[in-house]
A and B are shown apart, each in its own frame.
Chain A
Amino acid sequence: QITLKESGPTLVKPTQTLTLTCTFSGFSLTASGVAVGWIRQPPGKALEWLALIYWDDDKRYSPSLKNRVTVTKGTSKNQVVLTMTNMNPVDTATYYCAHHHFGDFDYWGQGILVTVSS
Chain B
Amino acid sequence: QSVLTQPPSASGTPGQRVTISCSGSSSNIGSNPVSWYQQLPGTAPKLLIYSDNLRPSGVPDRFSGSKSGTSASLAISGLQSEDEADYYCATWDDSLNGLFGGGTKLTVL
Which A residues are closer than 8 A to B by beta carbons? 37, 39, 46-49, 52, 60-63, 96, 102-106, 108-111
Least Cβ–Cβ distance between A12 and chain B, in angstroms: 22
Given A46-B102, A47-B37, A49-B98, verify A103-B51 contact (CB < 8 Å): yes
List B residues 13-62 near A (Cβ within 8 Å).
Answer: 32-33, 35, 37, 39, 44-47, 50-51, 56
Cα distance A111–B42 when bound, in Å? Answer: 10
The interface residues of chain B lying within 8 Å CB-to-CB of A96 are: 44-45
Residue contact B100 to A48, C-beta cutoff 8 Å: yes
The interface residues of chain A lying within 8 Å CB-to-CB of B35 are: 103-105
* Closest chain A residue, CB of each to CB of B6: A46
The interface residues of chain B lying within 8 Å CB-to-CB of A39 are: 45, 98, 100
Least Cβ–Cβ distance between A74 and chain B, in angstroms: 21
Residue contact A103 to B33, C-beta cutoff 8 Å: yes
* Candidates A37, A108, A110, A111; contact of B98 at CB < 8 Å: A37
The interface residues of chain B lying within 8 Å CB-to-CB of A48 are: 100
Show 11 residue pairs from A and B whose CB-CB distance is below 8 angstroms, ordered by the A residue: A37-B98, A46-B88, A47-B90, A60-B96, A96-B45, A103-B35, A103-B92, A106-B50, A108-B46, A110-B44, A111-B44
- Chain A CB within 8 A of B68 CB: no
Cα distance A39–B95 when bound, in Å? Answer: 17
Residue contact A46 to B47, C-beta cutoff 8 Å: no
Least Cβ–Cβ distance between A76 and chain B, in angstroms: 22
- Chain A CB within 8 A of B101 CB: yes
Least Cβ–Cβ distance between B2 and chain A, in angstroms: 6
The interface residues of chain A lying within 8 Å CB-to-CB of B88 are: 46-47
Residue contact A60 to B97, C-beta cutoff 8 Å: yes
* Candidates B47, B98, B101, B102; contact of A60 at CB < 8 Å: B98
- Chain A CB within 8 A of B99 CB: yes
Known: A37-B98, A47-B100, A105-B37; 15 extra A-B contacts, CB below 8 A, are A39-B45, A46-B2, A46-B88, A46-B103, A47-B37, A47-B45, A47-B103, A52-B98, A60-B95, A60-B96, A60-B98, A103-B35, A103-B50, A106-B47, A108-B44
